Amino acid sequence: MTNLNIMWLVFTVAATGLFVADIKLSAGRAHEITRREALALCGFWVLAAALFGFLTGYMLGYERMIEFFTGYVIEYSLSMDNMFVFVMIFAYFSVPKKYQPKILTWGIIGAVVLRLILIFAGVGLIKAFGWIIYIFGAILIYTAFKMYFQADEKMDPGANPVLKMLARVMPIDHNDTSGNFFSRKEILYATPLFATLLVIETSDVLFAVDSIPAVLAISKEAFIVYTSNVFAVVGLRSLYFLLASLLDLFRYLKTGISVILFYVGCKMLASEFIHIPAILSLAVVLGILALSMLLSVAIRPEAKAAR
């Protein structure tokens, strides 16, 4: 068995076991996850990703380790911006906080399966059609400019086409407060929780269009791209509850993420002509992310008003 096959086995067992453990840590009765609990769970997942990254370096080499960490940081930073969309979705459907972990759990399982399909498809396309890398790069640069120049949009989850399709197939009981995805009266009804899950899953398809090409700009190895994605995605439950309690501290995060997308898009377009070391990409991504957070903390709205 090759080192790569061993790492695939380690990843499958570790990611599955850790995700189940994460669910059990916050399981039991439906309850609101506190900031303290969310912070502890975030630390747990970051530590798990770090240990896996170091093991990747030991088994597959230093370059693969740096690629893993770079992909992980990019995916995690993009996930931070996506979490604010989830805040709006939960608010729209008036989902009680005690039921939000359940929706996020199923949402993450769907995201892991979706990324498995999209990542292997993306790697296969790049290997079969080398020129498609320029399309991925152009998508990232377009997304970066759109994110930077576009004012914050008020998302309307009710306009989601998949949700409208569900309403035609199955009635939605908007008054249900049972915490289940379906309820049965004289016929089977979908509940607001299932409608919320549906919108989150379809939103993740759009998120993947940005995040997967961004990581493919760092590595063309399916193992690196998928494992870095999954380790970032499975920690999203705890990240969501932490960021939901700290919304005002990340005013410049979207700007930082747009700059990161622009950088990786340019890297992808120039990949055939210029080799950018993985360690440099990791430093650039971490630096941009740290600067955007420092500016968010340093430049407060009240400080600007005082001037």
- Model pLDDT for residues 48-73, shown as the tens digit of each residue: 999 999 999 999 999 999 999 988 88
Instruction: Give the closest residue to 104 by CA, choosing from 163, 27, 13.
Output: 27
Task: Kindly tell me if the per-residue pLDDT of 182 is higher than 90.
Answer: no
Coil, helix or strand at residue 172: strand
Task: Kindly tell me if the per-residue pLDDT of 46 is higher than 50.
Answer: yes
Give the DSSP H or E segment for 33: none
The pTM assigned to this predicted structure is 0.74
Lowest-confidence pick of 9-23, 41-55, 165-179 = 165-179
pLDDT of residue 307: 44
Task: Kindly tell me if the per-residue pLDDT of 154 is higher than 70.
Answer: no
Instruction: Give the closest residue to 108 by CA, choosing from 136, 83, 87.
Output: 83
Higher pLDDT, 186 or 49: 49
Asked whether 240 and 291 are in contact (CB, 8 A), the reply is no
- Bridge partner residues of 298 (DSSP): none
Asked whether 166 and 195 are in contact (CB, 8 A), the reply is yes
Residues 6+ apart with CB under 8 A from 171: 187, 189, 190
Give the DSSP H or E segment for 164: helix 161-169
Coil, helix or strand at residue 153: coil
- Bridge partner residues of 183 (DSSP): 189
pLDDT of residue 282: 79
Distance of CA 278 to the CA centre of its chain: 21
Measured between alpha carbons, how far is 47 from 283 in angstroms, rounded to an integer? 19
The answer to whether the Cα torsion of 207, 210, 216, 218 is positive or negative is: negative
